[in-house]
Amino acid sequence: MIISVVPGERTAENVVAVVEDFKRRTRGRLMNLITTDGYPAYEEAILNAYGETITPPRTGKRGRPKASYKVAPKGLTYAVVEKTREKGRVVGIDTRVVFGTKAAVVAALEKSNVSRAINTSFVERQNGPDRHRNARKARKTYRFSKDWRYHESVTYFTMYVYNFCWPVRTLRIKDDEGCWQKRSPAMAAGLADHVWSISEWLTFPAVRH
């Protein structure tokens, strides 16, 4: 399930935007485990989004009082994957726990139905279908976007259609009769009861009265 999309270059500002948007869409609930690559902006963005503000008490002494700061709340578990490259090839992969404890990370991984290691495989795997379903993002192509508005619009379109209109093979389940039931990411997340057609998704009113 793709929760949040912020089209554009990977900058500190866009990292903040995607973390804040993700928090809003999940109503601020702490995830069992957050993982990213080693891009430094993620740590600050996650701390600012989920952290608790500590205001040091005034001492009564002369001088400027200490400024407020953020601390990671209990239950925030965040780890990163750091890859070492030589001549364009990955020669080493290290993991590091940033917020929380190693025990909390192990506990989160034990609860997971899909992974037993700290990784960024899911978002990296999603990059393949993203390029496949959006010709504008294919490598070395003449079909690249000439206008940012179109590029942004098609990005949202393909991502959200993926959530509701694409039956993912690894999400299928067997029904009571032993037959495989196709499911989209939205169905697996409990947001839909069937695989939507693209026309159904396009004509669904954005604002319901």
The answer to whether residues 53 and 24 belong to one domain is: yes
The answer to whether residues 109 and 147 belong to one domain is: no
Mean pLDDT across the chain? 92
Range of the domain at 91: 1-119
When pLDDT is averaged across residues 27-38 and rounded to a whole number, the result is 95
pLDDT over 70 percentage in the chain: 99
The answer to whether residues 144 and 191 belong to one domain is: yes
What pTM, to 2 d.p., does this model score? 0.86
d(CA 196, CA 165): 5
pLDDT tens digit string along 60-112? 888 888 889 999 999 999 999 999 999 889 899 999 999 999 999 999 999 99
Query: Cβ–Cβ contacts within 10 Å for residue 19, how many?
Result: 23
Q: Is the pLDDT reported for residue 204 higher than 90?
A: no
The answer to whether residues 125 and 61 belong to one domain is: no
The answer to whether residues 113 and 164 belong to one domain is: no
The answer to whether residues 96 and 191 belong to one domain is: no
d(CA 5, CA 18): 7
The answer to whether residues 99 and 142 belong to one domain is: no
Cβ atoms of 53 and 26 within 8 Å: the answer is no
The answer to whether residues 133 and 110 belong to one domain is: no
The answer to whether residues 105 and 144 belong to one domain is: no
The answer to whether residues 136 and 104 belong to one domain is: no
Cβ atoms of 50 and 24 within 8 Å: the answer is no
The answer to whether residues 63 and 144 belong to one domain is: no
**R_g of the chain computed on alpha carbons:** 21
- Provide the pLDDT confidence category of residue 9 given band limits of 50, 70 and 90: very high
pLDDT of residue 180: 94
End of a domain among 104, 119, 134?
119
End of a domain among 62, 85, 119?
119
In the chain, the number of structural domains is 2
d(CA 44, CA 25): 20
d(CA 170, CA 151): 29
